[in-house]
Structure 1
Amino acid sequence: MSNKAEAEPGHVFVYGTLRQGSNHPMARRLSAQARYVGQARANGRLYDMGWYPAAMFDANAPTRIIGDVFALPPGERLLAELDAYEHGDPNYARIPLEVSLAGTGTVLVWTYGVSAPPNSRVIPGGDFLTHWNAKSRRPIRP
């Protein structure tokens, strides 16, 4: 997790169970407490971990990770809840990252990634919701 810096991101980039269209309770909480900004992309690889993905961000990767950007509300509460949710897997860390918003430039965000590729299959196209809907008819829930 990052230490507090002078220019902390005021947004979060989510690419899995927290995306718009997910039925996960934490996705509903994020949508209720933060303002949806739009779809975004980041260079890297997205891995299938079963009912959730893992992202390994790499500015030089030829592949992209598709996700959603939310503007965080004032205060640390929602970010602390996201940290608790994401740190259910000790391999994840919150990192600052610049992502490309669809049609509007870039934005600095918080996101959660892994530092080493997991022993899992890469998700073609980098879109977890499309991948999930193709392999399962069940809503995304733990």
Structure 2
Amino acid sequence: MKPICPRLFVYGTLLDSANSYGAYLQQHCTLLQIGKFRGKLYDAGEYPAAIIDTNIDQYVQGSIYVMDEPGKILAFIDDYEGFGDDQEQPNLFVRELTTIETSSGMIECWVYVYNFPVDGLLLIKSGNYRL
């Protein structure tokens, strides 16, 4: 069986240690470095919504974490992100492996991307939810 990728790219509310799921990540993961992927970031109200688009020159910025126990942590975060067969269908977010650009090269990471149309959502032009 192929091992689960141990890295998670986070760009939104999970970066906030005041968020209980964000605090969980900080307790069970190690911050590796910052990074970005080609795509767009939108304001969906209570949370950001990122989409991957490798054909544009815009980026979603965030942080890469190395998970202590990837299977356990991903299952916990899947619940928060509304991802999985046991969640409302279609899922609000989907978890995908994607390539993250960093100052030291390209790194494959899990990322949660928005799974609904972005029509009517406000584009966050900076690509950084924390600004």
Listed as ranges, the gaps of 5+ residues in structure 2 are: none
Question: Normalized against structure 1, the TM-score is what?
Answer: 0.79
Q: Which amino acid aligns with 1:98?
A: T
In the alignment of these two chains, the number of paired residues is 124
Which residue of 2 is the match for residue 18 of structure 1? 14
CA drift of 1:24 comes to: 1.2
Q: Is the 8 A contact 1:56 1:117 kept in 2?
A: no
* Pair 1:54-2:55 in alignment: no
Measured in 2, the distance between the counterparts of 1:82 and 1:6 equals 21
TM alignment of 1:24-63, pairs within 5 A: 24-63=19-58
TM-score w.r.t. the length of structure 2 is 0.86
> Which stretches in structure 1 are left out of the alignment for 5+ residues?
131-142
More strand by share: 2
2:13 and 2:56 mapped to 1: Cα distance?
A: 23
Q: Quick one: percent identity of the two aligned structures?
A: 26
Aligned to 1:105: 105
- The verdict on how the C-alpha distance between 1:81 and 1:48 changes in structure 2, with shifts beyond 3 A counting, is same
TM-aligned CA distance change 1:75 to 1:22, over 3 Å: closer
Match of 2:68 in 1: 73
| Residue 89 of structure 2 is aligned to residue 87 of structure 1 | no
* Whole-angstrom distance in 2 between the partners of 1:8 and 1:75: 7
User: SS at the partner of 1:77?
Assistant: helix
Report the Cα offset of residue 36 of structure 1.
0.5
